[in-house]
Structure 1
């Protein structure tokens, strides 16, 4: 009996030693870092904090927001890609960091598809063109007329080169035959503040960031980049309605983990985040910010992301968009 007990104990220890770390220890056993690859105040940061406040208690831990801005989300994304795949690092990925940048940066420090495992798509939202409250531009046509009269004199801020804000500007110039001055920042927060202050003429930004400033009157909305007008901005025409046919840019926000993160952890994260996104108050909050919430599975997000990478590669090539 004694010998049999020793053998069973040895077998149990051997089996435990072969299990992955997540199976041996309860996860999560410590705080989880949520990397936001943009400065505080932008769309990704706002959504990360909204979700993090609810995700921490749901998992029985703390979610620590870590802002690492730069290069259109590439700096923070590379940090996340190199982090241990143990479930303690998640990333707020965007259309720029996970679909656009790979076609713009010749030496990107990560692969937007191979370096990550998708967890969830938070939602999508169009971009809106805004100017400061004291701007002489009342319509998009005013902007285009000024840019055509004096090329490269009208300035437009963005959250960084390669972001949806930057691509929207480049596409506007390409489709309207005009030229603008692109002024990249390290995030939407500081960029829109300079639009408000009049240091920069205008900016394409997501409704998450621009919405509150539109409501307060600090900026004026000239056009939205969606195919149809928004319920939250019914009096603001689309870019297409304003004379630039076939123009549409829709931004999106997702959550990713480093590739190789155990599937059970990815599944648990997805389940808890989806519960949060489906809460009535969260749905109302997202829609109020101009976002269309998503309920995609991780597999559906992966397919969606691959299609987005291909789509923007074609757009960037056709428009001849280059980084400054």
Structure 2
């Protein structure tokens, strides 16, 4: 009897294998979810929605954007790390998830390097430093002088503890002098609003989020971080152009899948992402959002992570920042 049960199980398994292979070959057969670990309406959310629209048309199934903000991308990223590796749940996030968080947090609920596998480097981006429009300075050196004369620490905002904006803010003290206190927000839009109304001194933000406030004459940008000027704000000088070193690391947006997701699904999604972001209309929208499209292979993204992670880890070590 036991042998008969065992034989039936083997037969059932053998019969199921072609169906599994066929389902994988037909992927996708139902809607796909892309988790974005940032607030809806923010720069990354807006970027992913443009990509999701193109993927929906290309893949023939609805690609849904699911914002899950919190804890410097940890909340949304953990959801994907714990998801079934069946090709229907993916993550699009910034470099912080892999390059910053493992060094910054004393404990993480998952291991990004092991539980999230690369799909594609989507884009390189920039962030800018913004102040209230009527601030009595127009460049970084002027801001440094102003901060030293405040008589209190200057407050600066970012989109969360351990974010790139938080770390860059820590670097401002050594670069410009003076004292700075970090104020974490759930996204850069509310931080920009507080700069505009005068309850926050300075904030880091994406060009996308900052442009409406700049256009309304409520805030003004001082400099953009990164190796090059932002394509969406070509007149804004970099930190390096203002002779303030150390702010030239590129920030990037990339796609990941739960570990164990079949390699051919990973490859097909990567190819679809590449095709979508290469479309002129999509590329133009990305430029307007301060992003330069890339569309790398999984291996190329893995190489970028291997190269960039030690650099961010050393910055975090030097800053002394740690989050319990």
| TM-score under structure 1 length normalisation | 0.89
Is contact 1:99-1:305 (8 Å) kept?
yes
Moved more, 86-95 or 224-233: 224-233
Tell me the equivalent position of 1:219. 219
Q: Distance in 1 between matches of 2:45 and 2:234?
A: 26
Q: Distance in 1 between matches of 2:162 and 2:204?
A: 13
Name the SS of the counterpart of 1:217 in structure 2: coil
Moved more, 50-59 or 126-135: 126-135
Tell me the equivalent position of 2:157. 157
Name the SS of the counterpart of 1:34 in structure 2: strand
Q: Distance in 1 between matches of 2:71 and 2:169?
A: 17
| TM-score under structure 2 length normalisation | 0.89
User: What is the CA-CA distance between 1:247 and the residue it aligns to?
Assistant: 3.2
Matched, 1:23 2:34: no
1:244-255 alignment to 2 at 5 Å? 244-255=244-255
Tell me the equivalent position of 2:258. 258
Root-mean-square deviation (CA), in Å? Answer: 2.3
The size of the alignment, in residue pairs, is: 315
Tell me the equivalent position of 2:3. none
Name the SS of the counterpart of 1:186 in structure 2: coil
Name the SS of the counterpart of 2:127 in structure 1: strand
Matched, 1:62 2:62: yes
Tell me the equivalent position of 2:146. 146
User: What is the CA-CA distance between 1:175 and the residue it aligns to?
Assistant: 2.6
Tell me the equivalent position of 1:7. none
Is contact 1:43-1:208 (8 Å) kept?
yes
Matched, 1:177 2:161: no
1:1-324 alignment to 2 at 5 Å? 14-19=13-18, 21=20, 23-24=22-23, 26-150=26-150, 152-323=152-323
Gaps of 5+ in 1: 1-9
User: What is the CA-CA distance between 1:320 and the residue it aligns to?
Assistant: 2.4
Q: Distance in 1 between matches of 2:16 and 2:229?
A: 58
Q: Distance in 2 between matches of 1:91 and 1:183?
A: 26
Name the SS of the counterpart of 1:72 in structure 2: coil
Moved more, 151-160 or 207-216: 207-216
Relative to 1, partners in 2 of residues 1:43 and 1:313: Cα closer, same or farther, differing over 3 Å? same
